Amino acid sequence: MTLIIHAGSNNKNVFKALIAAEYVGVEIKMAENFKMGESNKTPEFLKMNPIGKVPVLETPEGPIFESNAIARYVASLKPESSLLGSTPIEYGQIQQWIDFSTLELDTNLRGWAMPRVGYSPYIKSAEENYISAVKRGLGALNMHLASRTFLVGESVTLADIIMTCNLAYKFKVVLTKSFTSEFPHFERYFWTMVNQPNISKLIGEIKQTETIPPIPSPKKPDSKPKPKPKKEEAPKPKPESEAAPEEEEAPKPKPKNPLDLLPPTKMVLDDWKRLYSNTKTNFREVAIKGFWDMFDPEGYSLWFCNYKYNDENTVSFVTMNKVGGFLQRMDLARKYAFGKMLIIGNEPPFKVKGLWIFRGPEIPKFVMDECYDMELYEWTKVDLSDEAQKERVNQMIEDHEPFEGEPLLDANSVGQEAYNWYPLMADEGQ
């Protein structure tokens, strides 16, 4: 049986399947000439995973995506293997620790590490929340491992493989010795795992970082003045054979955003933001009426969005992180857009829906091109002639509850930014 994994080779989510393959004696080949950003956008790849994410495992029976699912499939190819446990309770406990590793540790460790290495904006309060969540998770894991070598049973299981893969890179970036020493059983477990032959063969040597990377700072332009030539020195003639240096070009003006070239509009987003923020009573009579008085259908458009994969939103804080990350990336449109996201329901799966105002008659092209999350939502333009749709806009603005028959998720449990108006302004402290 030929198994081919499509992804870059140095990827912890790929290692999960490759390590499982070592334990069950299955060969997995890496797709040849795979280039992230190119190969995963081809029609052939999108047939295997329409989201375009990696890794994807190509099997004779069809493709599989999502790294944990791929690893489970590989582990199941040898039924007599203990990777998935030997009893129903062991199987359940293995799945339990896989989910714990993904949701309690990997999600929060990524949230902590990514801004430190420049992959997402740094927000101090968010980092503090991520660190607190990591400590909580490691504390629980440390307690579980106090009398155990492995997570489940007496040998390596898929839970150990996935846990180790999720942790290895973080030991190189944010999990310093001074941080992990608080969890000695966890430390012992990790070093035991990374030295297992089938694991070290693939992930190599792990050197624990001594310091956390500093917060990246934007590069400043070189402000050093150029030395002026001395007046008394006449320029020396140059030999004809010496090529004259190219003249320095004057800096080209930054091209205007096409939205800046649209006809003027009577609507000023800042005015609406102030009205919304300052209205504490009679919200319908003041804020909502004011919104429709200000709204200019010639200069702006209104859009509903609905997350395409709401059935995956089974954990509240993961859903919150998903929406928060989307809003952070949408910061690129802060001058031209204004949005609200709702997380709906008090039981999973939670529904994620939104309402957005965009400058111009359509969703700006640069937003669609630069914010990959846009493809994860279905976008529907609000029909302003439909009173039912206008009332839906009103209810989303005012946090009407129940919304479409369901409660809104409690603000305190998911973070205010998860479903209140998110003004895309740099000075809002979001």
Same domain assignment for residues 289 and 423 = yes
In a shared domain, residues 94 and 18: no
What's the pLDDT score for residue 290? 92
Which residue range is the domain that position 358 belongs to?
260-428
Per-residue model confidence as pLDDT tens for the chain (430 residues) = 689 999 987 889 999 999 999 999 999 999 998 988 889 999 999 999 998 999 999 999 999 999 999 999 999 999 888 999 999 999 999 999 999 999 999 999 999 999 988 888 888 889 999 999 999 999 999 999 999 999 999 999 999 999 999 999 999 999 999 999 999 999 999 999 999 999 999 999 999 999 999 987 654 444 455 555 555 555 555 444 444 444 444 555 656 788 888 899 999 988 887 887 788 788 899 989 999 999 999 999 999 999 999 998 888 877 887 887 788 788 888 888 888 899 999 889 999 999 999 999 999 998 888 888 899 999 999 999 999 999 999 999 888 889 999 998 853 323 333 333 333 333 333 2
Cβ(57)–Cβ(4) below 8 Å: yes
Residues 51, 162 share a domain: no
Instruction: State whether 281 and 331 are in the same domain.
Output: yes
Residue at which a domain ends, from 75, 101, 129: 75
Among 75, 99, 121, where does a domain finish? 75
The pLDDT value recorded for residue 236 is 56
* Cis-peptide, bond into residue 348, ω within 30° of zero: no
The number of domains in the chain is 3
- Provide the pLDDT for residue 212: 93
Residue 26 shares a structural domain with residue 99 = no
Q: For tokens 């970036």, name the residue.
A: 173
> For residue 330, what pLDDT is reported?
84
Asked if residue 81 belongs to a domain, the reply is no
3-state secondary structure labels for all residues of 21-77: HHHHCCCEEECCCCCCCCHHHCHHHHHHCCCCCCCEEEECCEEEECHHHHHHHHHCC
H/E stretch holding 369 reads helix 365-370
pTM of the shown model: 0.54
Give the CATH number for residue 377.
Answer: 3.30.70.1010
Q: Are residues 311 and 347 in the same domain?
A: yes
CA 358/CA 265 separation, integer angstroms: 12
How far is the C-alpha of 99 from the C-alpha of 151, rounded, in Å? 13
- Interstrand relation of 3-6 and 28-30 (parallel, antiparallel or unpaired): parallel
Quick one: 92 and 71 in the same domain? Answer: no
Ramachandran bin of 332, using left for φ above 0, alpha for ψ from -120 to 50, beta for the remaining angles: alpha
Two structure tokens written together for 429 = 């402290």
Residue 234: phi and psi, rounded to 5, are -80, 140
Report the pLDDT value the prediction gives residue 316, as an integer from 0 to 100. Answer: 80
**14: domain CATH number?**
3.40.30.10
Residue whose entry in the numeric block shows the structure tokens 């998911």:
414
Single-letter residue type at 3 = L
Domain co-membership, 14 together with 107:
no
CB 118 within 8 A of CB 173: no
Q: In angstroms, rounded to a whole number, what is the distance separating the alpha carbons of residues 197 and 189?
A: 15
Based on the fold, state whether residues 69 and 95 are members of the same structural domain. no
Total residues found in the chain within this entry: 430
Q: Which two tokens stand for residue 380?
A: 């529907």
Element (H, E) at 315: none
Which position has the token pair 């096409």? 258
Let me know if residue 230 belongs to a domain: no
Give first-to-last CA distance, the chain, whole Å. 51
- Cα distance between residue 73 and residue 348, in whole Å: 26
